[in-house]
Chain A
Amino acid sequence: MKLKDVLSPLRVWERAAKKPMTIKDPINDRPGAVNYRGFHKNDFSKCIGCGSCEEICQNDAIDLVPVEGQETVEGDSGLRPMIDYGRCCWCALCVDVCPTGALTMSNEYTWIADNPEDYRFVPGADKTAWQDSEKGYTRSPDIQILDYERVDMQELEPEERDKSFIEIVKGYNKEQAMKEAERCLECGLCIATCPAHMDIPGYIAAIRDDDIDNALRILYETNPMPEICGRICTHKCETVCALHNNGDPLAIRWLKRYIVDQVPADKYSEILGTDHLEDEVLNRKVAIIGAGPAGLSAAYYLAIMGYKTKVYEALPDPGGMVRYGIPEYRLPYDQIDKDIDYIRSLGVEIQFNTRVGTDITLEELHGSYDAVFAGTGLHLGRSTRVPGADNKRVYFATDLLREVTLGNEIDVAENIVVIGGGNVAMDITRTLARLQNLKYGKVQVLATCLEAEDIMPADVEEVVEAREENAVIDPGWGPKEIEIRDGKVYGLHVVKCLSVFDENGRFSPKFDEDQKKFFKADMVVESIGQGMDLSYLSEGIKSDLKFSPRGRIEVDDSFQSSLQWLFVGGDIIQGPDVIHGIANGYIAAKGIDTYLNKK
């Protein structure tokens, strides 16, 4: 034993004279770190009720519950997370995963409540002591639990595409599709928003599992035109995608296209189990007017249910606006045929070049069929009615697009102005640019519209691609007059448009007459919307039908009109777009089935 070892421990007394290191009142004197994982807060103005917090919680501590005052709207489930502090382990993965950054934590250390029920609460709705605390754990911008970056889509370069109508988008390969499908967080906000309520997370999960057959079956449950929708759907699902709050939305449309592109047409009936459909045909007949998305969708589901269906189509090929309104570079005709040929293979008969109202009357159809579905679409152009709009070199976009599809030659001018800022305006602009390129070797087409660039109704990529193809887009101008010299179009006078809608959101454009511009042109195309042609309704039927104040046929939830045998859907009721047409057709088919079963 050393003397040092006996004496040295006595130095412990030195500490008695030292100032203590510890903090006297830590709760009050030492607040939590700025970053501390304390108690949950939820900013309802950001929360979309996507449920990713519930999904990632390994303790099942989070439940999405309805909360008073929160409505279900597009892109918001209306549900909010309820947290059970009997289960929570404060790992804050829910905070890290939250795509909107709504869920955060305060930096409080302690909380005591008398009632055990208080420990299960809805942050943001239930009053908490820490709800206004500014400090605490938040989602770090440096890490990501979800993948916010979309897999790039391969497209033709502008110089490869500006002289032809070859499809621009190349589609995903398997590796790309699986990588993109992995990004889905399965919140289901897309299902609620899709007019057809397609099981989007379901088919995306099937892509991840590389089970294309199952994916195809899921698609056909609610949508018999996936090749078409996989290319040109307005993809409202992507607009509400939870990932869109912090990055790129999931490429749902391209993933749908990937599924159908993998399956050859001759495998459809086997995969979808429709190879023995003819054995189950009922003795009931339904007539359908118009072989567009709505009509064909109704025909498909009626055929699946065993009804004999016949479609009457005025034009020589099926597809309606999908074929005659959308250029081939966005939607190739063979892909339209792939979808429609499969529908026809189920026994759906289409009679072409037959316009109801002239070649056959609606009354005759009513006489020969148990029910009729009309999905006749919006094929009439709308005019700006500015002076000079009645000149023969002033066209409607829908007419020109139809002529292109029919293969008829168009007298393309060297200098063209398009009025309109929607997707149809972009379609005709880009179509004319291609035709100019083929005819003159250069592009001189300009599109102008009322809306400023940031509120243009056309998809952003359409505008970008149009510019890549050398078309000029000059938004924010209102047409004033088409100047005619010697009976020929000379150009378009425009004035600055200051606003398009009034404070109530109604269409009421305001102009600054002092800011003027002149676009020289020898041909003007109007693309400011389309109208419906209901001339096939005879006076007798018209008088029995109920119309809305805006001139639309009134229908109930199953798209049944006030004439019980007549169902109406598609662009003339909702939309206008493909997916509404398909959804209407599906619901109407079920409505027709219910109606005929009751009859």
Chain B
Amino acid sequence: MSNLSESKYRGYEADRSKYPRMENGKPVIDLESHMYTKLWQGPQHPGVTGNMAVELIVNGDEIVDAKTHMGYLHRAFEKLMERRRYIQCFPLVCRICVPEPDTNEYCVSAAMEDLAGIQVPERALWLRTLNLEMSRIGSYLMWLGGQAGSLGMGAIGQWTIGMRDFWLDLFEEMTGGRVYHMYMIPGGVRKTLPEGFRDRARELIVTTRKLLYDVENTFLSNAIIKSRLQGLGVISPEMVDEYGIVGPNARASGMEHDIRINNPYVKYGELDVKMLTSTVGDAYARAELRYRDLHQSLDLVTEILNRIPQDGPIQADMPNLLNWKIPAGQTYVKAESTRGEHGFYMVSDGSDKPRRVFARGASYTHAISVLEELAVNISISDLAGLMVSLHTCPPEIER
């Protein structure tokens, strides 16, 4: 395994020596000189992790400058919520992130509960923890397929997306929905676990581990993959602080930060969540860290399944949610998504609708400032792999 000193590319301090001239920190590119070509990667591109585009300036197949463009996916969730009663916000927010909608559901419900001073019952907290951890598994499986696919290994994408669907089957049983679960309602959750759910979940954990063993052999322990990912998109510890990098991207560079451990929410405080880190900071280190985190999530789901109380209420005593007014105040609620810190800032003016909601997704930093910096000097063919290695999710940039 490589380490920082051996890496081919230096992410933080991009080598811009090939540029003709810099002005205000940006190269002055003369397209007429025929030395450079402008190339758009996205918004419709299989290697892009959603609807966003990267405007590239390339010299041969080497990227000299990159600019991220957003705006293809704007659905104005934050503004829509200002026009909706609190209970009506809850079906909206899951759509902020397709692969991992539950973090949004949790954050928005928890923000409302925090403002209204509502205590969620024990059983509902456990069910929420289960839901959140299962959604992390679903998200990681999707990412794993994406990471392999972006490097040309389509088969692994088929395996993991197929496996993710089995997890979606569990979500379907638990919540009534496959992709958008809409499970965490203000005050608790909507349904109890159906009969036999625990056994089916345990079986699926075993099957998933078998698949992951194959993935490890074919993907992580693969000379080609290693040669392409090692040294790609290195994030140095200094860069973590300066750019506000979070989640596995930060942990792979040695930063010990996981909200499940640092600021435990729902029932994470009672679970044995381990801080997984690496010191290398390149795309391979991030992939390996996510792989280990996925195994940890499977462990956690096993533990949660054993500990969910069989009885007890699943919703706090709530008023009529059609007329629910929340006392004036403001709050910020955060949770650890697979991409890092995911948060909701919510302001209430005492009426039945939120005055302002701000959804903070980890991808804002990762897909714009970090990607623009790390993309410089790499080959066009590595860009998709780099984007996926940052686990960017454009919908959470455009709320």
Contacts and interface: CB of A to CB of B under 8 A. Distances in A.
Interface of A: 1-2, 4-6, 8-9, 11-12, 14-15, 21-22, 32-37, 52, 55-56, 58, 89-93, 96-97, 105, 137, 140, 142-147, 179, 182-186, 208
A427 B174 CA distance: 54
Interface in B167-185: 169, 172-177, 180, 182, 185
B46 interface: no
Given A89-B91, A140-B191, A182-B323, A147 B217 contact: no
Best-buried of A12, A144, A185 by chain B (most CB within 10 Å): A12
Given A9-B221, A52-B322, A137 B176 contact: yes
A267 B321 CA distance: 35
B315 A2 contact: no
A137 B314 CA distance: 17
Contacts, number: 130
A36 B318 contact: no
B218 interface: yes
B303 interface: no
Contact of B191 (A15, A35, A58, A146): A35
Nearest to B219: A9
A179 B318 CA distance: 11
A146 B321 contact: yes
B214 interface: yes
Given A1-B223, A11-B217, A186-B322, 7 more contacts: A1-B227, A12-B155, A12-B214, A22-B162, A58-B84, A140-B191, A144-B315
Given A9-B217, A11-B214, A96-B190, A143 B185 contact: yes
Interface string B295-322: 0000000000000000001110011111
Contacts of A55: 322
B276 interface: no
A52 B162 CA distance: 39
Contacts of A147: 318-320
Interface of B: 84, 87-92, 155, 159, 162-163, 166, 169, 172-177, 180, 182, 185, 187-192, 194, 207, 214, 217-219, 221-224, 226-227, 313-315, 318-325
Contacts of A105: 176
A167 B264 CA distance: 54
B217 A33 contact: no
B223 A142 contact: no
B91 A97 contact: no
A35 B176 contact: yes
Contacts of B84: 58
B91 A35 contact: no
A32 B321 contact: no
Nearest to B123: A142
A8 B222 contact: yes
19 contacts: A1-B227, A8-B217, A9-B223, A11-B218, A21-B162, A21-B207, A33-B194, A35-B175, A37-B177, A55-B322, A91-B90, A91-B91, A145-B87, A145-B318, A146-B320, A183-B323, A185-B323, A186-B322, A208-B323
Instruction: Sort A-B residue pairs by CB-CB distance and give the 5 closest, nearest first.
Output: A91-B91, A58-B88, A5-B223, A8-B221, A143-B315
A36 B221 contact: no
A142 B191 contact: yes
Contact of B320 (A22, A143, A182): A182
A182 B317 CA distance: 14
Best-buried of B87, B159, B176, B214 by chain A (most CB within 10 Å): B176
Contacts of A12: 155, 214, 217-218
B221 A4 contact: yes
Contact of B92 (A15, A33, A58, A97): A58
Contacts of A32: 172
B218 A184 contact: no
Contacts of B223: 1-2, 5-6, 9
B226 A5 contact: yes
B322 A97 contact: yes
Contacts of A179: 319
B177 A56 contact: no
B324 to A, nearest CB: 8
A336 to B, nearest CB: 33
A58 B189 CA distance: 19
A471 to B, nearest CB: 37
B214 A91 contact: no
Best-buried of B185, B223, B227, B324 by chain A (most CB within 10 Å): B223
Given A58-B84, A91-B91, A145-B322, A34 B194 contact: yes
Best-buried of B166, B191, B221, B226 by chain A (most CB within 10 Å): B221
A56 B189 CA distance: 18
A15 B219 CA distance: 14
Nearest to B221: A8
B13 to A, nearest CB: 28
Contacts of B166: 21
Contacts of B214: 11-12, 14-15
B330 to A, nearest CB: 23
A22 B158 CA distance: 11
Contacts of A97: 322
A437 B214 CA distance: 88
Contacts of A184: 320, 323
Given A11-B217, A56-B88, A142 B192 contact: yes
Contact of B182 (A1, A92, A185): A92
B182 A91 contact: yes
Contact of A8 (B87, B88, B159, B218): B218
Contacts of B313: 142
Contacts of B191: 35, 140, 142
Contacts of B218: 8-9, 11-12
Contact of A36 (B89, B172, B226): B172
Nearest to A183: B320
B322 A56 contact: yes
A5 B177 contact: no
A35 B89 CA distance: 22
Nearest to A20: B162
A9 B91 contact: no
Contacts of A145: 87, 185, 318, 320-322
B224 to A, nearest CB: 8
A33 B175 CA distance: 10
Contacts of A4: 221
Nearest to A2: B223
Contacts of A137: 176
Contacts of A91: 90-91, 180, 182
Contact of A93 (B91, B221, B222, B319): B91
B49 to A, nearest CB: 23
A599 to B, nearest CB: 48
A140 B172 contact: no
Contacts of B163: 21
A145 B188 CA distance: 11
A356 to B, nearest CB: 49
Contacts of A146: 320-322
A258 B60 CA distance: 80
Contact of B314 (A33, A58, A142): A142
A185 B176 contact: no
Contacts of B187: 143
Contacts of B320: 145-147, 182-185
Contacts of B174: 35
Contacts of A21: 162-163, 166, 207
A8 B321 CA distance: 56
A52 B221 CA distance: 57
Contacts of B227: 1
A35 B87 contact: no
Contacts of B224: 9
Contacts of B90: 91, 93
A8 B218 CA distance: 6
Nearest to A37: B176
A182 B90 CA distance: 20
Contacts of A1: 223, 226-227
Contacts of B318: 144-145, 147
